[in-house]
């Protein structure tokens, strides 16, 4: 049965996250998966499951979400699927690309690694008086505000300590719902792409609920001098959520990409 993989981007501001939600006795909430399901149904003329790779929370954005569905026969050439779906989708969600993948492809289980970015505006004197640490009208949906100075050198020293395979229970909102809280962080880069902005890029084999937002909240506390960079080791070892920093707001978070190893190749390509 043909399986179609979709690369999906969305502004998460007006979505209740990725996963479809139908509260008992209430109208269905607007979710990215729910909107995409309707578009796929309209395109193929059948109600087929559309599976997503990452359950982004309400307000979280995505440039590289991956979804897939299977249907036989697929009555439209796969190279026209993205265009056909986009005519049925709202402006805050877009299918960037579509390709046919092997039947064994699973957007969750086939994942090898993924990466999130987090964008933060800090008070550093680059904005006019009275607007220090305030997001501009054009970035407010995608940038979280920190009204304190942040020492980048301290943040980078702490970020280096989270790289590797650790038990990240202290950085999880609901760890008891997972079989294991051990995860591998492949990279944790901290950059200043423009004045007043700090960007965090965290990649790994997978993440716990709110893990990236809590990691960033902890690193910000290090940058403010409230936690020492070396304390990251202790927080990881103690596995106690109360020892880590706050959960940062969702608007600064974006799912950037998901890699699938051998499944990154399009079916039929050399």
Catalytic residue numbers read: 57
The torsion angles phi and psi of 222, rounded to 5 degrees, stand at -65, -45
DSSP 109: T
Q: Are 5 and 68 in contact (CB under 8 A)?
A: yes
Please give the torsion angle defined by the CA atoms of residues 198, 204, 207 and 213, in that order, rounded to the nearest 10 degrees: -10
Residue count (the chain)? 270
Both structure tokens of 173 = 């909102």
Secondary structure letter of residue 2 according to DSSP: -
Pairing verdict, β 182-194 and 164-167: antiparallel
Q: Which residues contact 193 (CB under 8 A, 6 or more apart)?
A: 199
CA distances 35 to 30, 81, 86, 98, 107, Å, are 7, 16, 11, 17, 18
DSSP symbols for 57-69: PTT-EEEEEEEEE
Residue 177, C-beta contacts closer than 8 angstroms, at least 6 positions apart: 209
């Amino acid at each position: 049965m043909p399986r179609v993989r979709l690369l999906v981007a969305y502004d998460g501001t007006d979505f209740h996250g990725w996963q479809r939600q139908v509260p008992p006795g209430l109208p269905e909430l607007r979710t990215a998966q729910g909107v995409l399901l309707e578009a796929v149904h309209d395109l193929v003329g059948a109600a087929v499951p559309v599976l997503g790779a990452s359950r982004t929370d309400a307000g979280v954005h995505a440039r590289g979400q991956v979804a897939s569905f299977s249907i036989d026969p697929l009555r439209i050439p796969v190279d026209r699927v993205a265009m056909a779906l986009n005519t049925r989708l709202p402006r805050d969600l877009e299918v960037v690309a579509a390709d046919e993948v092997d039947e064994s492809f699973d957007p969750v289980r086939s994942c090898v690694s993924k990466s999130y970015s987090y964008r933060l505006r800090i008070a550093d004197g680059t904005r006019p008086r009275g607007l220090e640490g305030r997001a501009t009208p054009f970035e407010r949906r995608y940038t979280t505000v920190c009204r304190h100075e942040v020492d980048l050198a301290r943040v980078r020293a702490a970020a280096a300590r989270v790289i590797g395979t650790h038990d990240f229970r202290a950085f999880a909102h609901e760890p008891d719902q997972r079989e294991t809280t051990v995860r591998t962080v492949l990279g944790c880069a901290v950059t200043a792409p423009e004045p007043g902005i700090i960007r965090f890029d965290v990649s790994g084999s997978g993440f716990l609920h709110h893990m990236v937002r809590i990691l960033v909240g902890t690193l910000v506390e290090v940058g403010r001098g409230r936690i020492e960079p070396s304390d990251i080791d202790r927080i990881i070892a103690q596995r106690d959520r109360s020892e880590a920093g706050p959960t940062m707001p969702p608007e600064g978070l974006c799912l950037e990409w998901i890699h699938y190893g051998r499944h990154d190749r399009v079916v039929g390509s050399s």
